[in-house]
Amino acid sequence: MLMSRSSVLILLGILTILAPFSGLPVSFRNLLAVVFGACVLGIGFALRARDVRTAQALTEPFFAPEPAQPSAPQEISPI
């Protein structure tokens, strides 16, 4: 089961809140804070890029390609 980016972001927030109360050594908690922060930053950038891409796609007009016109034969077959 895959989690959406929003769900992972919420989970990382909860883990960040609970990390100081985990009873882990200070150096390990500091490492976790950096790792969680980097993950939140990466997910935030990915969500922002997706939002910008979606907004840009909605504002740009869509031009459908013109259907190809059948071309007339260049020569007439002797048959």
pLDDT band at 74 (very low <50, low <70, confident <90, very high): confident
pTM of the model: 0.62
Token code pair at residue 72: 């007339």
Average pLDDT score over residue span 27-46: 91
| Tally of domains in the chain | 1
Looking at residue 21, the DSSP 8-state letter turns out to be G
In a domain, 68, yes or no: no
In a domain, 46, yes or no: yes
Token code pair at residue 65: 């390609």
In a domain, 13, yes or no: no
The pLDDT, as a whole number, for residue 5 is 84
Average pLDDT score over residue span 22-50: 91
The pLDDT, as a whole number, for residue 53 is 87
Give 9: exposed, middle or buried? Use CB within 10 Å, 0-12, 13-18, 19+: middle
Provide the residue range defining the domain that includes 43: 29-60
Helices (H), 1-79: 5-18, 26-59
pLDDT band at 1 (very low <50, low <70, confident <90, very high): low
In a domain, 47, yes or no: yes
Half-sphere exposure of residue 40: CA atoms within 13 angstroms, side-chain side: 14
Token code pair at residue 16: 């960040």
The pLDDT, as a whole number, for residue 4 is 87
